[in-house]
Structure 1
Amino acid sequence: MAIEIKAPQFPESVADGSIATWHKKPGEPVQRDELLVDIETDKVVLEVVAPADGQLVEILKDEGDTVLSVEVIARFEEGTVSTAVPSAEAAEEETVQVGNVAMSPSAKRLLDEKKLDAEKIKGTGKGGRISKEDVQAYINSVPASAAKPASQAITSSSAQPVISIADGEKIEKRVPMTRLRKSIAKRLKEAQETAALLTTFNEVNMEPVMTLRSKYKDMFEKVHNGTRLGFMSFFVKATTEALKRFPDVNASIDGDDIVYHGYQDIGIAVSSDRGLVVPILRDCDRMNLADIEAQIRDFGARAQKGGLGLDELQGGTFTITNGGVFGSLMSTPILTPPQTAILGMHKIQERPMAVNGEVKILPMMYLALTYDHRLIDGKDAVQFLVAIKDMLEDPARILLDL
C-alpha cells in the first residue's frame, strides 16, 4: 500500500524547514519506526520515521530543499521487503571496469575513497584484476603524503570541520551555515539593533551554597532517586523569587505594548554540537530543587542528541546562561527578544575579600544582568541582581520569602 511521507506539523513560529539528511534510499528495506529523514528548522532537528515495514519508493525533496509544514516529501510502500543481500564472496567475484583496468567492487570503493590512480596499482588477480588487497598493499607501500591526497587533509564532523595543512598547503573548507546557527545570528543581531542593552554586574559569595550542597548532597541524591544537587537549582529558585518582586524584569515588549507575565518560565541556555539552544523550565515557582535539577539534566542530555521538541523551546519570560562551565570569568550576555533581561553566571574562583576588616579567601562568582533599558530602569536592574545575591549568600531567605 502506498503511503505519503509528510513533513511534521510546524508551530506558528516556524515558517519552514529544510531536508538535512536522508537516512534511507529508494528501494532500501525499512522497518517500522526506523529513521527516514532529518528535517532541520531554525530551532531543532525533527526526525521523520517509517510508518510501517516497507521501502521508500520515491524521494520528492532532496537534501537542502526547503519544505513547508505537512508537505509531502517522499512516497513509501508498505509491505515486507526481502533484506537478502549477495554474499561477500559473490560480490567480490563481480568485476568493475574502469577504463582499461578491471577491479573488484570493493577495490573501486577504496580507490574512490582514497582518490588513487588505478593505473599505478598492479593487480594480482586473474588477467591483472585489482583486488582490495592490492589497493591496500599499494597504500602501505608508499608514503602517506603520496597515497593520501591533500584534499583528504580536511575532515568534517557534525560540530566543526577540522582543517590541517598537508605538504605546506593552506587548506580551507566552505560549509553552509545551519538553520539553527542562522537563527541564532538573526536573533542576537535583532537584539542588538532594537533593544537598548545595558549590563550591570555584581559578585556573590558562593560559600553558603557550597556548604549547604556539601552537607546534604548525598542525602538529596538518595531521597530524590539519584538526582544530584547542583548549583543551577539555587540560581533558578533565587531568580524566580526576584522576578516576582521585579515584574518589569519578567515582562516582554510586544510592539508598543508591555506584557507582564504572572508566571516565571525560565530558559536555560544549553550548549550542543549544533549550537546554543534554550529549553524552557515552565512554572518555576511550582518546582522544587529536585524537579529543577532533573529537568535541566534531561534538557542537556536530549540537546546533545537533538531530541528537544519545538514546544520545549518556545516562550520563556527570562533566561539564565552559565558560561562558568566553560571557564568564563566575566561576560556580557545578550538577551533573547521579546524578553527584557538575561542573567549570566560565571566561574567560581577563590579571591581575597575584605570581611569585617579582615582578608578572607572566598569562592566568588561574578554575576551579569543584561537588560533592555527601554523598559527596565537601572535602579530596578541593580536591585534585582542584589536580591539574587542576597538569597544565594543566605539560602534561608528563599524558604522564608525574605
Structure 2
Amino acid sequence: MVPSHPRARDRRMTPAPRPAALVAAGTLVLALTGCQGAAISDDEAPAAGGPVRIGVVVPLTGPVSQVGTALRNGLELAVKKVNADGGVHGRPVEYVVVDDAGDPANSTQLARRLVRQDKVTMLFGTITGDTAEAVGRVADEAHVPFGTAILGDTEHCFAYQWGFGESTRQMLTPTVPGLIEKYGTKVALVGSDYNYPRFYGGVAKELVKEAGGRVVAEEYSPLGQTDWQPVIGRLKAAEPDTVLSMVVGADAVTFSKQAQQFGLLTPELGFEGAPLDADFQPALGGLVAGRTHTVRWSDRLDDAESRGFAKDYRTAHQWKAPIPEVAGNAYFGVRFLLAAAAKAGSSDPEAVNKAIGGLSFDSPLGKGTRFEPANHVLQADMREVTIGRDGAYTVARTHPMVADTTPKKGCS
C-alpha cells in the first residue's frame, strides 16, 4: 500500500565553501534519515552567489521504485561530474533526495518542504505523470524551475517545468506508421490508470488515425494490478495487430508475462511502449528480444560522453543489465540545468528558469537541444533501437531533432 505520508529523506550536500582543490574533488556526502528536514531556517532566501541546490523528488519505494532509483542514480553521477569539474562558476552543487513513494500528495508536501526549508535552486525528479503535475504546480507557485526525466509529458504545461524525457509525440510520431505498415491497421491501447497513460492513449489514437489505422480496444487498470487475465481477454477478443502499452512500473512485467501466457503477445503481434524500456529487459528477457523500441537515449550510443557515463554507472552500481533510459535522461538533463545555472551566473531560481528557456546545449541527446517555448518539451534526437537476446539496446536508426511544437496552455 502506498503510504499517505512522506517517507524517509536522504540529505546529500556539500559543506560551506572550502578551498578550491577540495571543491573540485567533488561533493562531500552526508546521509541523514527521518523527516525532520534540513538545518536551514524558513526565513533564509537562497543566496544568489551561494551553492546550487537541487531538490530531488523521486519514488524510492512503491510500485515504480525501480525507475525512481535509476533516475536518482543518473542525477548523482551528473552532480559528481559537475563538481569534479569545479562546480558552477566555482560554486558547489548540492542535492537533497526525498522519497514520495509515487504518491502525488507526498510529492506536493515534499516539494514545498524542499522550496521553503531547503531553499533549493531547482527541483528534479518524479516518475508518474500525476506526481509530475503535483510538483509542477508547486514549482509554478514558488517560481522554482522543475526538471523531469521520465518518458512522456504532462497534459498541462507549467511555466517552471521542463521535460527532458521524450514526449509522447516524439515517441509515437516515428513509430506508429512503421508499426501499422509492418503488422496491420488494428491497434489496441492498454495502460496503467492514471493521467499520463490516458494522455498517451489520446495522442496515440490521433496518430493511428493519421497513419490509416484504427483503435479496436482501450483498457486501463490501477497500479498494483496482479491479475491481468480479464483485461488481456478483452484485448485478445478485439484481434489487434499491434498493442501500444503504457503499463508502467512492476506492472509492466506482470502484464507482459501474462499477455504472453494467455496468448495475446505472440511474435506476430506488434508490441511497443513502456514494457520495452531497458528497466524491464532483465525480467522480460526473450519476451522483448528482437523487437524495436523508440527511445531518446541508449547506453549503446557510440559517443564519448555516453560511453563515459555508462562506464561510471556500471562501476558505481555494479550494473550489468541495460542502463535504464531514465538514468541517461536524468544525467544529461541535470547537465543541461546546471549549464543554465552557469549561464545565469546566479543561484536565484527565477534567473535560472529564464536561462533554461533560452539555452541551446550540445549533448548525446542531440546537437543544439533546446526547449520549445509553446510546451517546454526538449527538442532532441530520437533513436530506434533493436533489443538483442544479450540485452543490448543497439541503435539501428537515429531520427535527428524530432520536433514536438504542439502548444499547451500554461507555458510562458
Normalised TM-score (structure 2) = 0.23
The structure having more radius of gyration, on CA atoms, is 1
The answer to which structure has the higher strand fraction is 1
Higher relative contact order (CA 8 A, sep 6+): 2
Normalised TM-score (structure 1) = 0.23
The answer to which structure has the higher helix fraction is 2
